[in-house]
Amino acid sequence: MRWICLTGLLLLTLLPAQAGHSAPKILLRIHVQTTGEGLSNMQATTIALPPNGEQIQIRALPEVTEGELIDATQDASGRIHFLFNHEGQVSLSAVTAENQGRILVVFINGFIVYAPIIDTQIVNGELVLPHPINPQALQFLQDMARRNVRQAAKT
């Protein structure tokens, strides 16, 4: 009996856990440029924009995250379309309405992938990157979007 228990414990120790295994994390963060006036270091942070390293301040808390993502697709021209749920749509609409002329900064796993000047309000909840991203990152974002949709359907 001890032999069976020890063998079982050994197998549990050596085999990776599947039930509690979480999916790979991917972070999508969308921030907006700020003047930083009246904000503490906890509320604003300085970043360097590629390719020339121009420094700007952004709000420390993101406006939209991967938690609001419900779809991520790449079209035939290579553009990436991010579609957000109602909360993300409202946030994206408000931030693009209130911050015309400022920079919207899109991060994937801490790397800036897009930083356009806001020239129009995004009212449909869809943000389009004009270029492709790493295929593995896109796949992780698509998986995240599917999980978000399934989770929303459960509630």
Contacts of 130 (CB under 8 A, 6+ apart): 79, 114
- Tell the residue number behind the tokens 């969308």, with chain if given: 30
Per-residue pLDDT tens digits for 64-84: 999 999 999 999 999 999 999
Specify whether the CB–CB gap between 65 and 109 falls below 8 A. no
Burial code (b: 16+ CB inside 10 Å, e: under 16) for 12-26 equals: eeeeeeeeeeeeeeb
Q: pTM of the full predicted structure?
A: 0.83
In the chain, which stretches have pLDDT less than 50? 1-20
Domains in the chain (CATH in brackets) are 24-154 (3.30.1360.200)
